[in-house]
């Protein structure tokens, strides 16, 4: 049943600029798979960068594959560029940025007629590679499905890996794996004796990262995206980004201006991407020069400290009417525990700066269920938000503050990886406590699903036994997940909620 996807793909290709179409003759064909929808995948700068990087190699052709979660296994996944099925490719490279995308790996393989487990595949099937931040920090839940896992940044691993794949794609699979396991940053399940050492790019300027394929058919379709930095110096203890992309590295202003000049040919608005963009040591100079070039600016993350008035002014002048800030915790005690190196004065000053610029809508991000949290810490969130609302009310006749609440999820590879996630009952209680304090002031509180956050925690800290669970989820639902966990004889409480005092993955 491929006609629907082919038609949809052609419609999408017609709406794209920058698609790379290469002749396959004599080249290694690589399917780059983002196991989620086209709309989400095309906003992912990592996918865009790897797609361009691989296609720059003369003897390799790389095509994109997406998976619409509404699709069932009777829809054959096809590559965007050639509309070929995945079994035509020598290599299938999955990029995994979110734990919940793990659920889409199994249906992609099933729909393509590819055996799930690496041990059941020989060289007549494509070689399956996994990469991305989730794989870098803990490849184990998916490891039984993959022939090899990339630990670290693609640009640091692929230059050595691609020639080995090109030479050995059709040779005996075990022999190829023996060669792959000797490469830096490559973990080969069942072959490697020890974890691979994470690889990272020393000089980001050698590998510009910006939008490659532009389309309006995606979340950030009105922007040309440019990566400003990688990693983050602030070291919040729950944060995957800061720990997975160490050390922090900034691109030079000169390289960023070059990329911007090209981007402005396609879009008036530039999206400056990075975990803490305003930390760039020359951010004000960059913002000023981009302004002079006529760019409208959007910044993926505005930090509470430092919050440059110049950058804030540029973002607002470009038409933004909502600013988002992330205090994460309400009390100083808890902010100190999680390593968020800001105080209440910093937060209120930042809110004052935003309100003074005429912004009417403020989004605030907080976490609940943090280690050592009590009900008093929730009351501190309410108090802090009320102070923010008072500041806004002094400046505007009308203003809106929205809170987005995420439960703390212990992530592998972070300083908090051994902390337990709070129980769902505690989280529900704290959420309703917070809502009861704030709704009276007209402040709306949205929250991420507590139940799916628990699933994330299990997958983030899980081991290879989770592969059987993923293989047994036929149609994604919490009921199916719980049934599959039970069938595998695993304990959600252990993986998600218990505080571990030994190293990761030892039950
Ligand atoms: S400031 Fe943001 S990106 Fe940086 S470590 Fe903290 S949470 Fe992570």
Return the pLDDT at 439: 87
Mean pLDDT of the chain: 94
Which pTM was predicted? 0.95
Burial class (CB in 10 A: 0-12, 13-18, 19+), 39: middle
Q: Count CA within 13 A, CB hemisphere, residue 111.
A: 24
- The phi-psi region of residue 379 (left if phi > 0; otherwise alpha if psi is between -120 and 50; otherwise beta) is alpha
- The pLDDT assigned to 442 comes to 86
Q: What is the mean pLDDT of residues 419-434?
A: 97
- Is 95 close to ligand 1, i.e. is its CB under 6 Å away? no
In terms of C-beta density within 10 A (0-12 exposed, 13-18 middle, 19 or more buried), how is residue 197 classed?
A: exposed
d(CA 475, ligand 1 centre) in Å: 34
Q: Are 142 and 130 in contact (CB under 8 A)?
A: yes
Tell me if residue 410 falls in helix, strand or coil: coil
Q: Answer yes or no: is the C-beta of 235 below 6 A from any ligand 1 atom.
A: yes
Q: How confident is the model at residue 397 (pLDDT cuts 50, 70, 90)?
A: confident
Q: Supply the pLDDT for residue 505.
A: 46
Average pLDDT over residues 121-132: 97
Residue of 276, 305, 338 to test ligand 1 pocket, by largest number of atoms within 8 Å of CB? 276
Residue whose CB lies within 8 A of the most ligand 1 atoms, among 227, 233, 236, for a mutation test: 236
With 70 as the cut, is the pLDDT of residue 507 above it? no
Instruction: State how far the Cα of 40 lies from the Cα of 325, in Å rounded to an integer.
Output: 23
The protein residue with its alpha carbon nearest to ligand 1, atom 6, reads: 236
Q: What is the mean pLDDT of residues 425-429?
A: 98
**pLDDT score of 296:** 95
Query: In this predicted structure, what is the pLDDT of residue 3?
Result: 64
| CA distances in angstroms from 8 to 13, 36, 281, listed in the order given | 9, 15, 44
**Region 394-402 average pLDDT:** 89
Q: What is the pLDDT of residue 506?
A: 37
Structure confidence at residue 133 as a pLDDT band (50, 70, 90): very high
Q: What's the half-sphere exposure (Cβ side, CA atoms, 13 Å) at 301?
A: 22
Statement: residue 73 has pLDDT above 80: no
From the CB of 242, is ligand 1 less than 6 Å away? yes
Ligand 1: atom nearest CA of 340 is 6
**Domains along the sequence of the chain with CATH:** 3-187 (3.40.50.2300), 222-320 (3.30.750.210), 321-507 (3.30.750.200)
Distance 495 CA to ligand 1 centre (A): 24
Q: Is 31 helix (H, G, I), strand (E, B) or coil?
A: strand
Between CA 106 and CA 338 the distance in angstroms is: 35
Instruction: Quote the pLDDT of residue 424.
Output: 98
In the reported structure, the alpha carbon of residue 336 is separated from the centroid of ligand 1 by a whole-number distance in angstroms of 14
Instruction: With CA atoms as reference, report the closest residue to 244 among 235, 254, 255.
Output: 235
Report the pLDDT value the prediction gives residue 72, as an integer from 0 to 100: 74
Probe ligand 1: pick from 133, 237, 238, 239, max atoms within 8 Å of CB? 239
Categorize the per-residue pLDDT at 502 as very low, low, confident or very high, splitting at 50, 70 and 90: low
Tell me, what DSSP letter sits at residue 278? G
Q: What's the confidence (pLDDT) of residue 239?
A: 95
Give the residue-averaged pLDDT of 354-368.
Answer: 94
Token pair 């030892």: residue: 506
Closest atom, ligand 1, to C-alpha of 232: 4
User: In this predicted structure, which of 276-280, 410-414, 496-500 has the lowest mean pLDDT?
Assistant: 276-280
pLDDT at 399: 87
With a CB cutoff of 8 Å and minimum separation 6, the contacts of 383 are 330
Of all protein residues, the one whose alpha carbon is nearest to atom 2 of ligand 1 is: 275
Comparing C-alpha atoms, which of 305, 311, 381 is closest to residue 340?
A: 305
Quick one: which atom of ligand 1 is closest to the CA of 303? 1
474-483 pLDDT, tens per residue?
A: 889 999 999 9
- Distance, CA 43 to ligand 1 centroid (Å)? 20
């Amino acid at each position: 049943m491929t006609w629907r996807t082919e038609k949809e793909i052609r419609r999408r290709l017609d709406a794209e600029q920058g698609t790379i179409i290469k002749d396959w003759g004599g080249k290694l064909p690589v399917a780059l798979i983002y196991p989620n929808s086209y709309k989400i995948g095309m906003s992912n700068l990592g996918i865009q960068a790897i797609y361009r990087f691989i296609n720059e190699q003369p003897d390799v052709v790389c095509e994109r594959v997406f998976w619409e979660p509404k699709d069932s296994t009777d829809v054959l996944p096809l590559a965007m560029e050639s509309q070929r099925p995945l079994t035509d490719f020598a290599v299938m490279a999955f990029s995994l940025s979110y734990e919940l995308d793990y659920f889409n790996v199994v249906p992609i393989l099933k729909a393509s007629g590819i055996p799930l487990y690496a041990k059941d595949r020989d060289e007549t099937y494509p070689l399956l590679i996994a990469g991305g931040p989730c794989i870098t920090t803990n490849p184990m839940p998916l490891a039984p499905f993959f022939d090899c896992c990339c630990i670290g940044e693609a640009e640091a691993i692929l230059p050595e890996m691609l020639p080995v794949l090109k030479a050995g794609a059709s040779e005996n699979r075990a022999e190829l794996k023996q060669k792959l396991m000797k490469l830096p940053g490559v973990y080969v399940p069942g072959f490697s004796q020890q974890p691979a050492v994470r690889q990272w790019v020393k000089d980001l300027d050698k590998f510009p990262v910006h939008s490659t394929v532009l389309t309006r058919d995606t979340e950030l379709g009105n922007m040309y995206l440019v990566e400003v930095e990688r990693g983050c110096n602030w070291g919040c203890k729950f944060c995957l980004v800061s720990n997975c992309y160490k050390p922090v590295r900034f691109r030079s202003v000169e390289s960023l201006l070059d990329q911007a000049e090209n981007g402005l040919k396609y879009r008036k608005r530039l999206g400056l991407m990075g975990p803490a963009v305003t930390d760039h040591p020359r951010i004000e100079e960059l913002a000023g020069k981009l302004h002079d070039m006529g760019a409208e600016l959007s910044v993926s993350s505005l930090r509470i400290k430092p919050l440059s008035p110049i950058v804030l002014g540029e973002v607002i002048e470009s038409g933004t009417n909502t600013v988002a800030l992330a205090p994460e915790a309400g009390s100083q005690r808890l902010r100190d525990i999680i390593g968020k190196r800001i105080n209440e004065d910093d937060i209120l000053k930042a809110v004052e700066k935003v309100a003074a610029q005429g912004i009417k809508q403020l989004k605030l991000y907080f976490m609940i269920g943090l280690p050592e949290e009590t009900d008093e810490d929730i009351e501190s969130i309410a108090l802090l938000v009320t102070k923010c609302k008072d500041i806004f009310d002094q400046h505007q006749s009308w203003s809106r503050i929205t809170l987005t609440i995420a439960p703390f999820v212990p992530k592998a590879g972070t300083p908090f990886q051994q902390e337990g996630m709070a129980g769902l009952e505690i989280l529900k209680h704290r959420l309703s406590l917070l809502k009861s304090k704030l709704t009276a002031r007209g402040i709306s509180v949205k929250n991420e699903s507590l139940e799916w956050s628990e699933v994330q925690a299990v997958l983030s800290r899980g081991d290879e036994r989770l592969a059987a669970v993923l293989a047994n989820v036929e149609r994604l639902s919490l009921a199916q997940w719980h049934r599959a966990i039970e069938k595998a004889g695993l304990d959600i409480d252990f993986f998600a909620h218990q505080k571990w005092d030994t190293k990761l993955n030892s039950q």
